Amino acid sequence: MTDRPMLIPIAGPYRSGTGGAPAAMAADLSRPEAAAWPVFDAGQVPVTGERIAPPVPRSAGAGPTDPLADQVLHPAADRPLAHRDAVLRLPGDSAGAGQDAATARRRGLPVHHDVAQIPRRVTAAGGAA
């Protein structure tokens, strides 16, 4: 239990194995989005790097499969998430999600593999936050 909301990145496949196909990437993105509600409902703050990072290469005129995206997507997502409290690692092959989990472990942070593992935040009155 924590007294403040935990910032919990939801890490899962986004571009890996999609060949850059927009429909496949959108399908991959639906999985972390589906996990966002249970994290929020537990009183925590869900975030996905896939929502944080894409404006960086896009503002440079690059798409998600452009070589520039390969250079900046992971660092752009990781910088604000340096303040993370844990990671929710969804199943599936993904270099970026694996990197997120490894970074969390190096920092001594928990890596959850199921939303049920995420601590529920409780208010002073005893209810969920």
* pTM for this predicted structure: 0.74
- What average pLDDT does the chain have? 83
Using the predicted structure, report yes or no on whether residue 125 has a pLDDT greater than 70. no
Judge whether 77 lies within some domain: yes
- pLDDT at residue 1, as a whole number: 45
Judge whether 129 lies within some domain: no
Judge whether 23 lies within some domain: yes
Judge whether 1 lies within some domain: no
Q: How many domains does the chain have?
A: 1
Residue among 4, 8, 79, 74 nearest 37 (CA): 8
> Is 9:47 a contact under the CB 8 Å cutoff?
yes
Judge whether 52 lies within some domain: yes
CATH number at 45 reads: 3.40.50.10400
Judge whether 28 lies within some domain: yes
What does the pLDDT look like over 47-68, one tens digit per residue?
Answer: 987 778 888 888 999 887 788 8
Query: H or E element: which one contains 8?
Result: strand 7-11
Full residue range of the structural domain in which residue 56 is found: 7-117
Own/partner long-range contacts of 40-43 (Cβ < 8 Å, ≥24 apart): 41/128, 42/115, 42/118, 42/119, 42/120, 42/121, 42/128, 43/5, 43/120, 43/121, 43/122, 43/128, 43/129
Judge whether 36 lies within some domain: yes
Judge whether 49 lies within some domain: yes
What does the pLDDT look like over 83-113, one tens digit per residue?
Answer: 889 999 999 888 888 988 998 999 999 999 9
Cα dihedral 32, 82, 15, 61 sign: positive
